Structure 1
Amino acid sequence: MNEEPQAATVRVFIALAPPDDAKEELEQRLLPAYAAYPRMRWNRIEDWHITLAFLGELPVTAVALLGPPLADLAATRPPLRLGLRGGGHFDERVLWTGIDGDLEGLHLLAAEVRAAVTGCGIPFHGRPLRPHLTLARARRHDTTSAVEAAAGLDAFTGRRWEAGRLHLVGSNTGRGPGPIQYRDIRAWPFDGAK
């Protein structure tokens, strides 16, 4: 019996990434939570990002179509001034820190990114943007760790930074054991980014 070859796919999203020093500032604030909640699945600091559009599994050929419109979009947009602030949780299991700064510009950028995606013929049915950076996930049946860790971030206000690049990111979700890891497929600087 002949089997049809399956097209290669990749799980992708479009995001912004805080600079290393902003991530390190938050990581220092999280040290007590790391010690208090070691059973949480903590995201690697190098993978922290702000998702603008989650696209899921796409054929590699579709991913290639995204490059030119995202490059054009980045080339016409100024960098955004953002910061990391506070904390919260989704469904008592997902710990996050919030985003502060030019939120109007962030929402506009997300809308433009999503329009570029659909302009490539890639269906996008994502949720409305809720600007955040995911830090960790509690294990099933653990409804206290994320809630308590979020309370520890209430007073956190990180320094402001410039989001200077738009990232097209691939992940290894569902491809073997271990934590989720991300890699830039491509990244484009915003106009005037340092």
Structure 2
Amino acid sequence: MDDHPEPSSLRVFVALAPPDDAKDELAGALEPARARYPRLRWNRIEDWHITLAFLGELPSTAVPPLRSALAGAAPSYPALDLNLRGGGHFDERLLWSGIDGDVEGLHRLATDVRELIRACGIGFRDRPLNPHLTLARSRRDDAVSVPQAAAGLAGFVGLRWRTERLHLVGSNIGRGPGPIRYRDIEAWRLGAAARTGDGASPAEP
């Protein structure tokens, strides 16, 4: 039995996730940077994701209608062929790996997802899509590690994969000390994958 009451609000986003073999390949390429820049705060590999729409803090009551809408729409969204490529940074503080492949399709998918979210009556800050995988963050007094780690990824080209699922994800940002943790609220098969798979994937307990 869960002794913890459901929170009155959740911080959520809609995302895609690379498969394990693609993440393992990038993790191997990052090993020299992990050793060279020990002060960076690295994201857990299981938390790597490509954000399509960040919704911020939502009332818990807004989540069930959104889940229902995404479940109904996901099979109509196309699966995409993508891969990880290179590295970069935001403001010398946040290290990321870029996304290659069907980037136009990725932008169309993000547009469709955002339109669906607005149709659910959910307001959010609609920032331009900059597809990436967030890998690490630097400390405030370190303006060197992230740009140097990004330069070390310049030649990285990951294997190609086909997206399979659309994920609705929740995080614990702002809920106490400790590292950020993410969990799938639910995930649904995309496009052709939905016709050969078993439909929705429930969240882990």
TM-score over 0.5 for the pair: yes
Question: 2:148 corresponds to which residue?
Answer: 148
Aligned residue for 2:192, secondary structure, equals: coil
Alignment of 1:33-52 (within 5 A): 33-52=33-52
Question: 1:170 corresponds to which residue?
Answer: 170
Task: Report the RMSD for the aligned CA atoms in angstroms.
Answer: 1.0
C-alpha contact 1:17 1:48 (8 A) present in aligned 2:
yes
Question: 2:84 corresponds to which residue?
Answer: 84
C-alpha contact 1:52 1:113 (8 A) present in aligned 2:
yes
Cα offset, 1:137, TM superposition? 0.4
- 1: CA distance, partners of 2:174 / 2:35: 28
Question: 1:4 corresponds to which residue?
Answer: none
- 1: CA distance, partners of 2:38 / 2:161: 29
**Mean Cα deviation higher: 56-65 or 81-90:** 56-65
- 1: CA distance, partners of 2:116 / 2:16: 16
Instruction: Output the TM-score relative to the length of structure 2.
Output: 0.89
Aligned-partner residue type, residue 84 of structure 1: L
- 2: CA distance, partners of 1:188 / 1:164: 8
Question: 1:158 corresponds to which residue?
Answer: 158
Instruction: Output the TM-score relative to the length of structure 1.
Output: 0.94
Cα offset, 1:14, TM superposition? 0.3
Question: 2:123 corresponds to which residue?
Answer: 123
- 2: CA distance, partners of 1:179 / 1:171: 10
- 1: CA distance, partners of 2:61 / 2:73: 20
Percent identity over the alignment is 66
Deviations 1:3-32, CA, capped at 9 Å, x for gaps: xxxx70010000000000000000000000
Question: 1:19 corresponds to which residue?
Answer: 19
- 2: CA distance, partners of 1:163 / 1:128: 21
Aligned residue for 2:14, secondary structure, equals: strand
- 2: CA distance, partners of 1:101 / 1:74: 20
Cα offset, 1:64, TM superposition? 1.3
Give the unaligned 5+ runs of structure 2. 1-6, 198-205
Aligned residue for 1:192, secondary structure, equals: helix
Deviations 1:46-88, CA, capped at 9 Å, x for gaps: 0000000000110111111111221122111221100000000
Aligned-partner residue type, residue 14 of structure 1: V
- 2: CA distance, partners of 1:96 / 1:53: 17
Cα offset, 1:124, TM superposition? 2.2
**Mean Cα deviation higher: 91-100 or 119-128:** 119-128
Question: 1:139 corresponds to which residue?
Answer: 139
Give the unaligned 5+ runs of structure 1. 1-6
Cα offset, 1:191, TM superposition? 2.1
Aligned residue for 1:31, secondary structure, equals: helix
- 1: CA distance, partners of 2:10 / 2:69: 19
Cα offset, 1:170, TM superposition? 0.2
- 2: CA distance, partners of 1:182 / 1:99: 21
Aligned residue for 2:125, secondary structure, equals: coil
